[in-house]
Structure 1
Amino acid sequence: MDIGDATAALGGLLEAQDPADLDAMADTLIRHAAAPGDDVALLLISPHG
């Protein structure tokens, strides 16, 4: 998958998420990006507290 396709796929995942539910968003992003056994670090910040 080239970078344009990967960016589009990531954008689609983010659009489908509720921005107020960071736990669900994190789960979705990690399931999409990580292979089993990979170490992953992810930081999501809500500007609305």
Structure 2
Amino acid sequence: MWDGALARRVTPHVLEIEGADHGMYVPGPLSDSIAVLARVADAVDHFLATISWP
């Protein structure tokens, strides 16, 4: 079970997508799920910049 509040207490690096399943797919057109994956990629990019990834 996912506990978003607990995750945010552990780290500020949390991206929660309402309605997404474990594959980050959301109901509706495929383009909606593709947009979610773009958000995930942006969040990863931000995280790596935050930790000074090479």
Q: TM-score, normalised by structure 1?
A: 0.27
Q: Which has the higher contact order (CA 8 A, sep 6+)?
A: 1
